[in-house]
Chain A
Amino acid sequence: MSAIHVDGLDVRFGETHAVRAASFVVAEGESFGIVGESGSGKSTVLRALAGLNPDWTGRMEVLGTAQGRQRPRSFYAAVQMVFQDPFGSLHPRQTVDRALAEPLAIHGLADAEARIERVLAEVQLGPGFRFRYPHQLSGGQRQRVAIARALILEPRILLLDEPTSALDVSIQAEVLNLLAELRLRLGLTFVLVSHNLAVVAHMCERIAVMNAGRIVEELTTASLRAGTPREAYTRQLLLASRGYDRAAAAQFRTFD
């Protein structure tokens, strides 16, 4: 059984056709990356998967169950999301403890104390952080809290929307290591969205490249590293990710 099976996903925002006929499969325990530039539709795919955006057509199966516009509560216990901006993903007036207790209260889970302490230990935040407010935490610490919040319901699938794009490079390394370690230990399935090809290649086994709402190509990280992508767009993206090169930049063009 695949963890996620998306077929012909189409998302429109009024006039804009944000995602066009996207199809992909994610196996259980796999780390799947979606890479694209701004406006490619990658975050929209993730949000539609999460059930945050009800205006989609197509077919979506998560853990064997077809999903409709409304998601049952059991869905949220199995699928969680980590957002991009650590400054915006925590409620400014709630302590870490309160933010972590909320999902437990919604799902009526007991022994909140133990669960909160355990999940904070998993993201390597000491007990001294438990009653701080978001403005008393650094960007990396906030992101760890966001990860803890996503893990507290013990989901099987984690959707990651640019989880380290807003962090300093040294903090990014710590958070990426944490995510990789959690995935292995807890047997999670990841869908990671980023504009940073190096990050996606590091974290994922297979990658979908999106441009202007379409999935342009799906390839393994190995073939990406070998420099053998099939599509011209992917090759251009790969070239641009290697750093500034005056000669290469002259050949860039827009793909529509």
Chain B
Amino acid sequence: MTASTLRAWLLSDAPRSRLQARAGQAYLRWISFKTNPLALVGLAIVVVLLLMAAFAPLIATHDPLAQSLDHRLRPPSATNWFGTDALGRDIFSRVVHGTRITLVVVLFVVVTVGPLGLLIGATAGYAGGWVDTVLMRVTDIFLAFPRLILALAFVAALKPGIENAVIAIALTAWPPYARVARAEAMVIRNADYIAAVRLQGASATRIVLLHVMPLCTPSLIVRTTLDMAGIILTAAGLGFLGLGAQPPLPEWGAMIATGREQIFDQWWVATAPGIAICVVALGFNLLGDGLRDVLDPKQSQ
């Protein structure tokens, strides 16, 4: 199929299958997304992040864990593009491998937190009554936990590590999604199309899963993308405090922590991972903004 026939197929006025209809809508959204240059920058940053994480061993110039005490705290040079740290490890390679940790943190949190918050919120919003009250009070309990204190508690109870830091972040990150999903579900449940499905004999479960939740998904996608930046910063913060990734893992926050004593003389040790965090957080923010412009159902057709 040539490019122009594919385009015609996607933009067809009378699609012949569900696949064609869905693909057509996705294509229109992509066209709309493309008109926003900042969103494309954000997408590019995220794609670079993904590629770096996937091909880290190929992109890194050195072994990120290999110490070389003769070459400690060397400035950026031809061999060590970002210089070396206090144990002689190549910072560039550590930053590149750090993308994997960042990605794992972000994906784990988003994949658990998003759907969980959506399900709880949509159910509470649609059902109303005591179901709503109970679910929202549970949400409030988790909302009341300060994230860092919870992480400290986990670390004290279990051992410090990136897994426990991620769990702590996940447990405190889901309530806002539940609240937003609930607000949307409360509006949706009064719509005529929901009344129509009720009139077909659909059970409440079916309605929430198949009819209400799909409408809450676009705003969920936007919010999680925007929140990814915050999650990265929180994980970095925990790493900085020593509560997250443990040495010798090349987690960016931990790298900044170890580099903070040398920040005036050997600025590259803390700066490189710091810039990496900034760039990735910015990338997710821009992408999230771009997605919101495209997915926001309030946009006129």
Chain A positions within 8 Å of B, measured between CB atoms, are: 47, 50-52, 71, 73, 75-77, 80-81, 83-85, 88-93, 95, 97-98, 102-103, 106-107, 126-133, 135-136, 146, 149, 153
- Determine if A89 and B196 form an interchain contact, defined as CB atoms under 8 angstroms apart: yes
- Determine if B297 and A52 form an interchain contact, defined as CB atoms under 8 angstroms apart: no
Main secondary structure of the interface of B (DSSP, over half): helix
Chain A minimum-CB-distance residue to B22? A95
Docked complex: B1-40 residues within 8 A CB-CB of A = 13-18, 20-21, 25
Q: Separation in Å of the A176 CB from the closest CB of chain B?
A: 20
Q: Which residues of B contact A136 (CB under 8 A)?
A: 13
B: interface residue count bin: 20 to 34
Chain B positions within 8 Å of A, measured between CB atoms, are: 13-18, 20-21, 25, 191-193, 195-202, 206, 210-211, 214-215, 297, 301
- Determine if B196 and A133 form an interchain contact, defined as CB atoms under 8 angstroms apart: no
- Tell me, in angstroms, the Cα distance from A73 to B206 when the chains sit together: 14
- Determine if B195 and A132 form an interchain contact, defined as CB atoms under 8 angstroms apart: no
A/B pair count, beta carbons within 8 Å: 80
Known: A52-B199, A76-B200. A128 touches B13 (CB 8 A): yes
Q: Which residues of B contact A149 (CB under 8 A)?
A: 196
Task: Pick 7 A–B contacts, CB within 8 A, sort by A.
Answer: A50-B199, A76-B200, A76-B201, A92-B297, A95-B18, A131-B14, A131-B21
Chain B minimum-CB-distance residue to A97? B18
Q: Which residues of A contact B210 (CB under 8 A)?
A: 102
- Determine if A131 and B202 form an interchain contact, defined as CB atoms under 8 angstroms apart: no
- Determine if A133 and B25 form an interchain contact, defined as CB atoms under 8 angstroms apart: yes
Determine which of B16, B193, B215 lies in contact with A89 in the assembled complex, contact meaning CB atoms within 8 Å: B193
Q: Which residues of B contact A73 (CB under 8 A)?
A: 201
Q: Separation in Å of the B141 CB from the closest CB of chain A?
A: 31
Q: Which residues of A contact B197 (CB under 8 A)?
A: 91, 102
- Determine if A131 and B211 form an interchain contact, defined as CB atoms under 8 angstroms apart: no
- Tell me, in angstroms, the Cα distance from A83 to B195 when the chains sit together: 9
